[in-house]
Amino acid sequence: MLGSMFERSRRVGFAIVSKDDLTLRLADPRTSAALPMPDGRDPEPGGWNRLVIEVDDIASLVAALKKEGTTFRN
């Protein structure tokens, strides 16, 4: 069953797992997830999760979230 949910990727250390409306993009430290933040901080365990949210208009969503008080690391 897992085979039908797993989409292979050519990228090293990266996989996409999907079931119904949920898609998880998984990356290990060999991917861009290991790159430093713009302020120079290096990723560390706990709190360095990255989310991919597919939206039609990212600029409008970011503006609305900032207006509500959401902060972004980059």
The token duo for 54 is 């597919």
The token duo for 16 is 């996409």
pLDDT in tens, the chain (74 residues): 444 444 555 556 778 888 888 888 887 777 777 778 888 888 777 666 666 778 899 899 999 999 999 988 76
Taking the whole predicted model, whether its pTM rises above 0.75 is answered as no
What pairing do the DSSP bridges indicate for beta strands 6-7 and 22-27? unpaired
30's CB contacts (< 8 A; 6+ apart) are 12, 13
Which run of H or of E encompasses 18?
Answer: strand 14-19
Give 39's Cβ-side CA count (13 Å radius): 5
